[in-house]
Amino acid sequence: MSYRIEHDSMGEIKVPAYSYWGAQTQRSSENFPQNVERMPIQIIRALAVVKKASALANFKAGRLDEKRKDLIVTVCDEILEGKLDAHFPLVVWQTGSGTQTNMNVNEVIANRGNELAGEKLLHPNDHVNMSQSSNDTFPAAIHISAVLEVRNHLLPALDEGIKCMDSLIAENQNVIKTGRTHLMDAVPITFAQEISAWREMLSLDSENISRASESLYRLALGGTAVGTGLNAPKGFAEEAAKEIAELTGQPFITSPNKFHALTSQAPIAYVHGAVKALASDLMKIANDIRFLASGPRCGLGEISIPENEPGSSIMPGKVNPTQCEALTMAAVQVMGNDTAIGFAASQGNFQLNVFMPVIAYNFLQSVHLISETFSFFTKKCLAGIRPNTQKMSDNLSRSLMLVTALNPHIGYDNAAKIAKYAHENNTTLKEAGIALGLLSGEDYDRFIVPSRMV
């Protein structure tokens, strides 16, 4: 491999000749393990948005000339188009402020810009990082990437699931089955009503995540090193936030308190808490579905789900609820990520939180993971759910809890006697009621009508 010599405030260092990164990126790649998690590309692209917006704001403030501004904007667009992904090699496990990734982006923009210009016009610190600090660009990038992932991927995936459930509800209005509480037989319910609970979970989770993510519209950019805005011109924070809003189509604004914005990661922890609540609901939905589909002969067997692939390397013909399993594993990962984010967010010491890369990594993993797994779950499992109406009817007819409808007519204690007699003697409720002399067969048929119990 051929090398070139780059230098920074610490001196000279060899850098691969093919790379657009510079000295500080190279030092980071040599000082931290590289066979671990890479910095999420969403953070890189969010930083490109920050750099582009900052160049435009600095140009309007008269601090950056038009030629340099245009070069920065051009390279940022290349980053946003994914053309330079190979030049961002750094890992999550680096400095807690994300300084080296910020400099990685600065160096790539400067070196690529100089290549386009055919001369050395851009300096990574003096021009690309003008009016900025890693301490305000990285938290801004976290907010930008988080909002875009939530708005562009997670919420649409939930909407897709909600629409699928709306169809299932419409199809199953008249399918009556036994309800279950405490994992035990309960009074009747329609299958549509059961699905409606799942649908409401998704709807409320979507609303909560959307509302919570509004707290991320406030950006730290403009606070520079400690929140005072040192070296940033007057009005830079407001103008840069305005440019970011235009570039992303999201209503970003500058944080009214940059001291808070640099040191507190509570807003991202708050939003992830809403994502964790979604994960809890997805765990419940997936578990309900796989239990209802259990069998096909020795389980509940009340629904069928798509048979997507063989389920066993030894048992021929076995098919498993793999989409449910994938979704529940994703939910577990999100719950673990929430613990990491919460702990990391508590570590805002003095004027800066230095756990930002791990917060960014875990948040973006959670949102991407849930978006993708739930989208596949909707297409490959949810949309293919079909009720086994015969099994539902059989289970319902055997349910002892139908006796609940007798309470107003013969009283709770007498109804309990019928249920216990039927269970102990393996008879129907009707037979038990007649045997105990508590009601006639005609009364039973008049009182016990499952369709009137839902």
Give per-residue pLDDT as tens, 177-206.
999 999 999 999 999 999 999 999 999 999
Residue 62 Ramachandran class (φ > 0 left, ψ -120 to 50 alpha, else beta): left
**How many CB atoms lie under 10 A from the CB of residue 368?**
16
pLDDT-derived band at 27, boundaries 50, 70, 90: very high
pLDDT of residue 290: 98
Are 61 and 235 a contacting pair, CB within 8 Å? yes
pLDDT of residue 59: 98
pLDDT of residue 359: 98
pLDDT of residue 296: 93
Radius of gyration of the chain (CA): 30
Contacts of 186 (CB under 8 A, 6+ apart): 178, 179, 180, 401
**Residue range 129-139, pLDDT digits in tens:** 999 999 999 99
**Residue range 321-377, pLDDT digits in tens:** 999 999 999 999 999 999 999 999 999 999 999 999 999 999 999 999 999 999 999
How many whole angstroms separate alpha carbon 330 and alpha carbon 336?
10
Tokens of 323: 């989409």
pLDDT of residue 237: 98
pLDDT-derived band at 232, boundaries 50, 70, 90: very high
pLDDT of residue 248: 98
Are 282 and 374 a contacting pair, CB within 8 Å? yes
What residues are annotated to the active site?
Answer: 182, 312
- Quick one: which of 376, 373, 380, 341 has its CA closest to 357? 341
| Cis previous bond, 450, omega within 30 | no
Mean residue pLDDT of the chain comes to 97
CA–centroid distance for 64 within its chain: 38
pTM of the model: 0.96
* 221-233 average pLDDT score: 98
**Structural domains of the chain sorted by starting position, each given as residue range(s) with its CATH number in brackets:** 3-130 (1.10.275.10), 136-176+188-223+256-389 (1.20.200.10), 399-452 (1.10.40.30)
* 403-412 average pLDDT score: 97
* 248-272 average pLDDT score: 98
CA–centroid distance for 324 within its chain: 17
pLDDT of residue 414: 97
pLDDT of residue 252: 98
* 43-62 average pLDDT score: 98
pLDDT of residue 7: 92
**How many CB atoms lie under 10 A from the CB of residue 413?**
8
Dihedral in degrees, nearest 10, Cα atoms 400, 402, 407, 409: -120
**Residue range 92-130, pLDDT digits in tens:** 999 999 999 999 999 999 999 999 999 999 999 999 999
Question: Percent of the chain at pLDDT above 90?
Answer: 100
pLDDT of residue 380: 98
pLDDT of residue 254: 98
